[in-house]
Amino acid sequence: MAQVNLNVTELKGFVNHIITNNRFLQKEGKNPVSVEVVGESGIGKTSSIVELASENDLKFVKLNLAQIEELGDLVGFPVRQFQMYKEKIVKSNSNNINMVTATQRAAGASLANLNSQVTKKVGMWVDELAVQEYLKNGYKMTGKNRMSYCAPEWIADAKAGGILLLDDWNRADTRFIQAVMELIDRQTYISWTLPKDWHIILTANPDNGDYMVNTVDSAQKTRYITANLKFDVNVWAKWAEEAGIDTRCINFLLLHPELVTQETNARSITTFFNAISSFDNFEDNLSTIQMIGEGSVGDAFASMFTTFINNKLDKLVTPKDLLTHDNEQYILGELRSCIGKDDSYRADIASTLSTRLANYAVVYSKENTINQKITERLITLCTKDYFTNDLKYLIVRTIFSGNKQKFNKMMMNPEIIKMTIK
């Protein structure tokens, strides 16, 4: 199956493009494009779309197709409709002979006496329960009726501008999969249509034998674009920094990204991290942490985490201290003791701390002023020999891409300029 592999950041940019393009297509009278996001459970498929909707000020409706039991909850319920009309009196222009019909001429109507004509307005379909009310207001029956579908409750109050998320759609009963095909393709279902500027996103688990999913046939696959969501520890670390995940835990996952698997996914890992974040000292609570870990992320992950603690790696210098600690010489000494030098240099720890520093600086800049002291600290960290040239470049690139305006004084440093040109 054709698909593109993306991390969360790339996915959001991709879907943003689809939304922009859909608006263009709708202006041209063409059908919008739907997107299917495939990924392991807990990888962030749904949460990334929720964030995207919020960032774009779009309404958000989520339907978990695997949990819907009645088809009517998805597409609305059938209702009988009757065609009705109302006689409308239209003033005639006596100076325009074209306003006089052939029937009227045959009846001997003259232009002089013809002050008005009766026309029949046909084509209004009325739900069965509303027929009597329309009859009271002067409407008449044509004798024609049809079965239709009323709009479902979830769309009743929907206005222009929104995302409809069909969650876990390939886990749904085949009835629901068939029912949404027209909706995915044309944004309509028999007798109702999604409001303007609505965009359909589907989420699905991989059809690789590890999940109980229904196989989607080739004809159905042509109705949408598929994006395969992959876990990226650096993207997760940036999110974790913004979400306030325990700094020690972020360090651990950056050091051991290989521990993220189908069974031990990003969701369960985050749950574990939140469950232990109240411990000021991990070393004093090893047995409890081990038990919590075994119950949330499994024995192997829990054992690696306790080894991390036993090796004092939970006590690495924090990015906050690297950026804002008053005693620069002290904090730079702490950094050196963490990463070592020459033959004792810990490239893995250096990589972790450089990523943390860059992400923290971007998050910090959103709510704080980057003063001269912080600027000078960053210049020191990016020009001296604490990190390799590659890591220093990555720090600079991350910071500038995150908030270039806030760090403009840092950009004016000759050594930084030289680094970015290279």
Name the nearest CA neighbour of 387 among 415, 348, 330: 348
Q: What is the pLDDT of residues 316-358, one digit of tens each?
A: 999 999 999 999 999 999 999 999 988 899 999 999 999 999 9
Angle in degrees, CA 228, 234, 240, rounded to 5: 100
90 or 296: whose pLDDT is higher? 296
Nearest to 37 by CA among 5, 75, 66: 5
| Local confidence band at 72 (pLDDT 50, 70, 90 cut-offs) | low
Return the bridge partners of 369, or none: none
Residue 157 has pLDDT above 80, yes or no: no
Q: Which residue has the tokens 């960032």?
A: 55
Nearest to 187 by CA among 78, 45, 33, 299: 33
Q: Which domains does the chain have, with CATH numbers?
A: 4-74+153-229 (3.40.50.300), 78-149 (no CATH), 234-421 (no CATH)
The backbone torsions φ and ψ at residue 26, rounded to the nearest 5 degrees and listed phi first, read: -65, -35
pLDDT band at 173 (very low <50, low <70, confident <90, very high): confident
Q: Is the pLDDT of residue 159 over 60?
A: yes
Average pLDDT, the chain: 84
Given this model, what pLDDT does residue 40 score? 84
Give me the residues paired with residue 166 across strands. Answer: 63, 202
For residues 210 and 174, the model is more confident at 174
Residue type, 15: V
3-state secondary structure the chain: CCCEEECHHHHHHHHHHHHHHHHHHHHCCCCCCEEEEECCCCCCHHHHHHHHHHHCCCEEEEEEHHHCCCHHHHHCCEEEEEEEEEEEEEECCCCCHHHCCHHHHHCCCCCCCCCEEEEEEEEEEEEHHHHHHHHHCCCEEEEEEEEEECCCHHHHCCCCCEEEEEECHHHCCHHHHHHHHHHHHHCEECCEECCCCEEEEEEECCCCCCCCCCCCCHHHHCCEEEEEECCCHHHHHHHHHHHCCCHHHHHHHHHCHHHCCCCCCHHHHHHHHHHHCCCCCCHHHHHHHHHHHHHHCCHHHHHHHHHHHHCCHHHCCCHHHHHHCCCHHHHHHHHHHHHCCHHHCCHHHHHHHHHHHHHHHHHHHHHCCCCHHHHHHHHHHHHCCCCCHHHHHHHHHHHHHHHCCCCHHHHCCHHHHHHHHC
Least trusted range by pLDDT, from 110-114, 217-221, 389-393: 110-114
Candidate ranges 83-97, 142-156, 324-338; pick with highest mean pLDDT: 324-338
What confidence score (pLDDT) does residue 177 get? 76
Bridge partners of 226, per DSSP, are: 36
- pLDDT tens digits, 28-51: 988 889 999 998 888 889 989 999
In the structure, what pLDDT confidence band is assigned to residue 126 with cuts at 50, 70 and 90?
Answer: confident
Pick from 286, 277, 349: nearest CA to 319: 349
Predicted local distance difference test score (pLDDT) of residue 156: 61
- Exposed, middle or buried, 378 (CB in 10 Å: 0-12/13-18/19+)? buried
Is the pLDDT confidence value at 212 over 60?
yes
pLDDT at 10 over 80: yes
More confident residue, 166 or 106: 166
pTM of the model: 0.72
> pLDDT-based confidence at 70, cuts 50/70/90?
low
d(CA 43, CA 321): 31
At 114 the pLDDT is: 47
What are the C-alpha distances in Å from 188 to residues 75, 124, 192, 262? 10, 19, 6, 36
Classify burial at 107, counting beta carbons within 10 Å of its beta carbon; exposed 0-12, middle 13-18, buried 19 or more: exposed
- What per-residue confidence (pLDDT) applies to 97? 46
* Rounded average pLDDT over 272-297: 95
d(CA 28, CA 74): 28
How many CB atoms neighbour CB 7 within 10 A?
18
Whether the predicted pLDDT of 111 surpasses 50: no
Confidence at residue 151, expressed as pLDDT on a 0 to 100 scale: 67
